[in-house]
């Protein structure tokens, strides 16, 4: 993947903007008291309001408003003290009232910015256009019977935040980093669980291409992409498709497309001509939403430490590289794990162990840190044994593997397996003497200037001591003996 699509006639640049629908964490729906719990029997969490019964009226859920404000603050965005709910009118069986209550011209949150960290160590700012609150629709189920569609309204009315980015994204990698960063932020502040498989975070991706320096091309919107990987693949495919159309002498039609993850391609859903006229107008059942500036300030003051601040703190306090730091802070559980490991220890060493060894194991086993077979305290204990020269770094990796397999702590493994490092210089000296005597030819070569042979001698000592000899001691004694 890359930022540039190399066409037959020259390079093209991708221009990408994302609309992320994030389900708000709240016990009740946006405009009714019905429960939002996931996985209940169909149509068991539906109030009369959600079902669009005659005479029913929406009442705004204050918790959802607070969550949106919290999110806006985490996105460094303007909070609009007055916002308006509008009706978006269209007919569909999973939309009982025949309109979705959303925010159109006056959203609750205005312009903001999100910083993404890229693997090359650079950071980039992605503008946020707006965040607005709206209600989710129900689910149409088409596969129960061939001749009928069933409707489940459990989801109808659950609060969503639609977070719209500026067209600042230039590559699939940036798009992936943006979605991950957004998810990280939302999880830090507990406003959305970010679970894309369950659909609590869904992306609409706007993609266009242009030759470098030209103005924006016509965009296509890819609807409802439900994983970071698919977002990246959809962009890759769509950009290539658009370049091919343009180079073939065609023009891009503004349209809505869907991503087929099986085939890895995008296909048109409906064109602009068939597009709905949503007939937006302010919902007369709801007064404009007015927020008290002091209340907003209170929420701001109560925000937890956010990923960017934590990342800076890790760089400052633990001497980590910005990239390592950003890897550690993405998931707040990972960051907390790392902090436990690093507390009172060498931060860089802790970071290496967490990122390379622990994340390696977790990735391989498909676990997240809460299910880690090695606790933060246990990993810290292992690092302590390296620091106090009980074991070498190399032996520590073997110990770690056993910890993963058995769940035992480092000390008992070291004891059981007799892995304690040999620091007794007498014992090491004796082994070295034996090797020098048995390899007079290599000693002669070394002494005649082939100093690279020293590594071979170190290896022999380690072999003889099953790797348990203290490397520093081995080096010091070897230096003395070999130079004679």
Task: Give, as one character, the DSSP assignment of residue 45.
Answer: S
Q: Single out the segment in contact with another protein by CB under 8 A; choices: 58-66, 112-120, 213-221, 339-347.
A: 58-66
Cα dihedral 393, 399, 401, 403, rounded to 10, equals -130
| Both tokens assigned to 460 | 């022999």
Least distance in angstroms from the C-beta of 256 to another protein: 17
Residue tagged 């320096």 (tokens): 213
Q: 29 near 47, Cβ under 8 Å?
A: yes
Task: Give, as one character, the DSSP assignment of residue 13.
Answer: E
Using rule CB under 8 A, residue 133 touches another protein: no
Nearer to another protein, 287 or 367 (CB): 287
Q: How far is CA 38 from CA 23, 32, 141, in A?
A: 11, 16, 16
> Which of 37, 40, 59, 244 touches another protein by CB under 8 A?
59
Least distance in angstroms from the C-beta of 208 to another protein: 23
**Dmax (CA) of the chain:** 100
User: What is the rounded CA–CA span in Å between residue 289 and residue 30?
Assistant: 13
254-283 positions binding another protein, by CB under 8 A:
277, 279-281
> Which of 221, 285, 411, 429 touches another protein by CB under 8 A?
285
Least distance in angstroms from the C-beta of 34 to another protein: 14
Using rule CB under 8 A, residue 217 touches another protein: no
Q: Which helix (H) or strand (E) holds 89?
A: strand 86-89
Tell whether the torsion through CA atoms of 185, 103, 201 and 27 is positive or negative: positive
User: What is the rounded CA–CA span in Å between residue 29 and residue 49?
Assistant: 10
Least distance in angstroms from the C-beta of 199 to another protein: 22
Nearer to another protein, 248 or 284 (CB): 284
Q: Name, in order, each residue with C-beta under 8 angstroms of 143's C-beta and a sequence gap of 6 or more.
A: none
Buried residues in 404-413 as b, exposed as e (16+ CB within 10 A): beeeebbeeb
Q: 423 near 470, Cβ under 8 Å?
A: yes
Nearer to another protein, 85 or 237 (CB): 85
Using rule CB under 8 A, residue 55 touches another protein: yes
Q: Single out the segment in contact with another protein by CB under 8 A; choices: 53-61, 190-198, 355-363, 420-428.
A: 53-61
User: What is the rounded CA–CA span in Å between residue 60 and residue 285?
Assistant: 10
Using rule CB under 8 A, residue 56 touches another protein: yes
| Both tokens assigned to 249 | 């002498």
Give how many residues touch another protein by CB under 8 A.
29
Task: Give, as one character, the DSSP assignment of residue 357.
Answer: I
**What is the contact mask toward another protein in residues 221 to 260, using x (rule: CB under 8 A)?**
----------------------------------------
Nearer to another protein, 274 or 441 (CB): 274
70-109 positions binding another protein, by CB under 8 A:
87, 89, 91, 93, 96-99
> Which of 7, 11, 42, 52 touches another protein by CB under 8 A?
52
147-166 positions binding another protein, by CB under 8 A:
149, 151
Least distance in angstroms from the C-beta of 127 to another protein: 27
Partner residues linked to 148 by β-bridges: 145
Q: Rounded to 5 degrees, what are φ and ψ at 202?
A: -135, 145
> Which of 287, 309, 377, 476 touches another protein by CB under 8 A?
287
Using rule CB under 8 A, residue 51 touches another protein: yes
Nearer to another protein, 277 or 441 (CB): 277
> Which of 213, 284, 426, 484 touches another protein by CB under 8 A?
284
| Both tokens assigned to 134 | 């709206």
Using rule CB under 8 A, residue 63 touches another protein: no
Strand, coil or helix: 176:
helix
**What is the contact mask toward another protein in residues 360 to 399, using x (rule: CB under 8 A)?**
----------------------------------------
Least distance in angstroms from the C-beta of 338 to another protein: 46
User: What is the rounded CA–CA span in Å between residue 453 and residue 450?
Assistant: 6
Binding site for another protein (CB under 8 A): 48, 51-60, 87, 89, 91, 93, 96-99, 149, 151, 277, 279-281, 284-287
């Amino acid at each position: 993947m890359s930022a540039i699509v190399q066409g037959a006639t020259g390079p093209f640049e991708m221009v990408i903007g994302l609309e992320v629908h994030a389900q708000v964490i709240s016990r009740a729906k946006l405009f009714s008291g019905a429960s939002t719990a996931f996985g209940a029997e169909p149509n068991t969490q539906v109030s009369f309001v959600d079902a669009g019964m005659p005479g029913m009226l929406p009442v705004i859920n204050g918790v959802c408003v607070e969550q949106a404000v919290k999110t806006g603050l985490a996105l460094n965005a303007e909070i609009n003290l007055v916002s308006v709910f509008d009706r978006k009118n269209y007919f569909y069986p999973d939309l009982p009232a025949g309109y979705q209550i959303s925010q159109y011209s006056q959203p609750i949150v205005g312009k903001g910015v999100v910083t993404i960290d890229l693997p090359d160590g650079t950071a980039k700012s992605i503008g946020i256009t707006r965040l607005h609150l709206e209600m989710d629709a129900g689910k149409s189920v088409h596969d129960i019977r061939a001749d009928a569609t069933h409707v489940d309204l459990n989801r109808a009315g659950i609060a969503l935040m639609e977070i719209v980015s500026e067209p600042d994204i230039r590559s699939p990698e940036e798009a992936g980093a943006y979605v991950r960063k957004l998810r990280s932020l939302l999880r830090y502040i507990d406003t959305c669980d970010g679970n894309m498989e369950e659909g609590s975070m869904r992306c609409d991706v706007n993609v266009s291409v242009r030759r470098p320096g030209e103005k924006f091309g016509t965009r296509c919107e890819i609807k409802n992409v439900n994983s970071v990987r698919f977002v990246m693949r959809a962009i890759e495919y769509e950009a290539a498709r658009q370049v091919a159309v343009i180079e073939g002498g065609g023009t891009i039609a503004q349209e809505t497309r869907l991503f087929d993850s099986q085939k890895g391609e995008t296909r048109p859903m409906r064109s602009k001509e068939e597009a709905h006229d949503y007939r937006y107008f302010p919902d007369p059942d709801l007064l404009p939403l007015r927020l008290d500036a002091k209340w907003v300030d209170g929420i701001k003051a109560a925000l937890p430490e956010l990923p960017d601040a934590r990342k800076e703190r890790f760089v400052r306090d633990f001497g980590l590289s910005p990239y390592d730091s950003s890897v550690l802070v993405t998931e707040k559980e990972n960051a907390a794990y790392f902090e436990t490991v690093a507390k009172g220890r060498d931060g860089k060493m802790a970071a290496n162990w967490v990122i390379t060894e622990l994340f390696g194991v977790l990735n391989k086993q498909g676990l997240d840190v809460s299910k880690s077979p090695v606790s933060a305290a246990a990993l810290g204990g292992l690092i302590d044994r390296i620091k106090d020269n009980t074991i070498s770094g190399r032996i520590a990796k073997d110990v770690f593997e056993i910890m993963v397999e058995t769940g035992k702590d480092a000390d008992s493994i070291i004891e059981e397996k007799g892995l304690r490092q040999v620091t007794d210089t007498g014992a090491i000296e004796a082994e070295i003497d034996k090797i020098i005597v048995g390899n007079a030819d290599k000693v002669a070569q070394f002494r005649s200037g082939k100093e690279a042979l020293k590594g071979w001698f170190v290896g022999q000592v380690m072999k003889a001591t099953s790797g348990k000899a203290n490397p520093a001691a081995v080096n010091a004694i070897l230096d003395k003996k070999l130079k004679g």
